[in-house]
Amino acid sequence: MDFSLTEAQEALRKSITEFSIKELGGDMRAREKGGTFFRDGWDRCAAFGIQGLPMPTEYGGTGESIVECMIAMQALGATCDDSGLLFTLSSHMWTCEIPILLFGSAAQKERWLPPMIRGEIIGCHAMSEPGSGSDAFSLRTLATKVDGGYRITGGKTFISNAPIAGIFLVFATVNPKKGWAGVTGFLVERDNPGLTVGQPLDKMGLKTSPTSEIHLEDCFVQGDAILGKIGGGSAIFNAEMEWERSCLFAAHLGAMQRQLDVCVAYAKDRKQFGQTIGSFQAISHKIADMRVRIEIGELLLHKVAWAKAKGQRAPMESAIAKLVVSEAYVASSLDAIQIHGGYGFMTEVGVERDLRDAIGGRLYSGTSEIQRNIIASLLGL
């Protein structure tokens, strides 16, 4: 097995690295303090082609495979310290664009994908509810059949991108008695009567990625708003999760590399007891562990991408990769703070922000406990 990047992949990585360094900087501390979405950065990403990476050329994308998408997201994570922007991009691409591409009708693809690729419309994925988080398919949002379409009523919470989204992929059940077999995806426009977006929620981390509740009250959608087929919501959800659990967490790997570079430089410069702190095993071993975590995470994520690029499903592999990388990001963030000592605890240094951003990775895309459940169930337990 050849683990080296092809010439084209290396060129992609280099171009995105250069773009990110040049265009996605700025005062991150000010944006985070104000909970401000980096709209200029979003627009620059769209102009460069980020939102179109996994999309076919016929809709304005570049048609990259999941392998190239992972390489791109890892490069962004390594050079852009606005994890909220990268999370918004990921929510848009992997949980809204990809479902429309895989399950949408020709008309839905033609209508929504080009403006989403251009960054003119931001996508949003609305699954979680106050009473159904990890138990995703116990949702209570109800879609009732009426003349010409459906009326949707219910509430969603922790919805990434909702405050800035133009199109919502809303999951509702057409028959609560059917459980997961009744769950259906609907494409709901922001200005659709009956859809209300709540105020942005204040989060521990990822503060520059807007999140809110949404409420649907007798929200009418026509029959052509159904994504895929009636009762096909679980297929949509499972397919998109494999993309998200690989490409989103590739950005985490990039952030871990950025952490490592910062810690190595600090350990070489900072002196205590007459020598650099990197000469102490207590520090050098933490740095070694950070590097090991990156290596393991890369191998796991690239295995998922390899399988997906060959048209295979990878539920076990993506669950393992998501579990390992999300836990590793938290561990490395804690190590980075410890290596920096008191300075790591100060917000102005920026090291502690990675920890606050990393913790969310153990919760979204399925908690660590859910990933272990998936792995166990696929082993027949």
Active-site positions read: 244
In whole angstroms, how large is the CA radius of gyration of the chain? Answer: 21
Tell the residue number behind the tokens 């809204």, with chain if given. 96
d(CA 127, CA 176): 15
SS3 201: coil
Long-range contacts for 195-204 (Cβ within 8 Å, ≥24 apart)? 195/168, 195/219, 197/162, 197/163, 197/165, 198/162, 199/163, 200/35, 200/163, 201/158, 202/35, 203/360, 204/356, 204/359, 204/360
Instruction: Using alpha carbons, list the distances in angstroms from residue 233 to 183, 184, 185.
Output: 5, 4, 5
DSSP tag of 350: -
Burial of 281 from C-beta contacts in 10 A (0-12 / 13-18 / 19+) = exposed
d(CA 318, CA 296): 14
Are the C-beta atoms of 358 and 333 separated by less than 8 Å? Answer: yes
Instruction: Using alpha carbons, list the distances in angstroms from residue 229 to 117, 130, 224.
Output: 24, 25, 10
d(CA 325, CA 330): 9
The number of residues making up the chain comes to: 381
Residue 175: CB atoms within 10 Å: 16
